[in-house]
Structure 1
Amino acid sequence: MNLSLAEMARRLTELEARVPEALSQGLAAAAAAMEQAARAKAVESAAAAGITEAARVNALRDSIGHTVKGLEAAIGSNANQAVVQELGSAQTPPHPFLGAVANEQADVVQKSVGDAVTAVLEGRPINSTVSAHT
């Protein structure tokens, strides 16, 4: 395929415009996978802390969510119990789950973002789903 310099410049400009969106979509897929992994890990953490009351465990699990804005993602909880689980208290040792998931899922984030950018560079649609590796 012979491309003129003008055509090559046009294609590169198109790619330049699509890469940030690909990065964001890859990050969003990874954040969703991390949320699911954090919910599962929260249940394990609660069990390790001796919390057996289903309502408390379910409330902790259901409090976990994620947000994505551009190239930044956050996975966390709005529950006070999550802070105690993650960091501990004077009466309770820590049983971290959010930090553990972040460490465990680092490769998932890298692969998801990399796959999205690769798809754009190859002219393929971006696959917006990622399998969590827990």
Structure 2
Amino acid sequence: MNLSLTEMVRRLTELETRVPEALSQGLAAAAAAMEQAARTKAVESAAAAGMTEAARVNALRDSIGSEVKGLEAAIGSNANQAVVLELGSAQTPPHPFLGVVANEHADAVQMSVGDAVTAALEGRPIDPTANAHT
């Protein structure tokens, strides 16, 4: 395919906008998948720690959220019990779930972001609901 210099500049300028969008969208898809996995793993960790009160377990699960800003994502909890489960305490051994999920999903994050960038480079629509390969 022969492109004029003007057409090449137009396409590169378009990519300058699409690639950062693709990175962010791929990261958002991965973060959403990791949030769901962290909720599931938190329930498992709570059970392993002997937490049996359904209201406490549900509150822990529901406290987990994710936030994506540009090219940064955070998955975490604002519940004190999450810290105790993740790190342990003087009375309780650790039953980590956030770190475990991060390790388990590292490759899936790369794949999700890579798929979104590939779509942008190929000129295909970026699917914001794409599964993060989990």
| TM-score normalised by length of structure 1 | 0.96
Is 1:101–2:101 an aligned residue pair? yes
SS of 1:42 mapped into structure 2: helix
CA contact (8 A) 2:111 2:133 kept: no
Displacement after TM superposition at 1:96 (Å) = 0.2
CA contact (8 A) 1:63 1:78 kept: yes
Counterpart amino acid of residue 50 in structure 1: G
CA contact (8 A) 1:87 1:94 kept: yes
SS of 2:50 mapped into structure 1: coil
- Structure 1 counterpart of 2:54: 54
Counterpart amino acid of residue 62 in structure 1: D
Displacement after TM superposition at 1:10 (Å) = 1.2
Write out aligned runs for 1:91-130 (5 A).
91-128=91-128, 129-130=130-131
What are the ranges of 5 or more consecutive residues in structure 2 without an aligned counterpart? none
Distance 1:94 1:56, change over 3 A: same
Counterpart amino acid of residue 87 in structure 1: L
Counterpart amino acid of residue 83 in structure 2: V
CA contact (8 A) 1:37 1:132 kept: no
Which string of whole-angstrom CA distances, capped at 9 and with x for unpartnered residues, describes residues 69-92 of structure 1?
A: 000000000000000000000000
SS of 1:52 mapped into structure 2: coil
Aligned residues: 133
Write out aligned runs for 1:1-134 (5 A).
1-128=1-128, 129-131=130-132, 133=134
Q: Distance in 2 between matches of 1:27 and 1:60?
A: 24
Displacement after TM superposition at 1:41 (Å) = 0.3
Q: Distance in 2 between matches of 1:59 and 1:132?
A: 27
What are the ranges of 5 or more consecutive residues in structure 1 without an aligned counterpart? none
List, as ranges, runs of 4+ consecutive aligned residues in structure 1 with deviation greater than 3 Å: none
- The root-mean-square deviation of aligned C-alpha atoms, in Å, is 0.9
| TM-score normalised by length of structure 2 | 0.96
Q: Distance in 1 between matches of 2:83 and 2:43?
A: 14
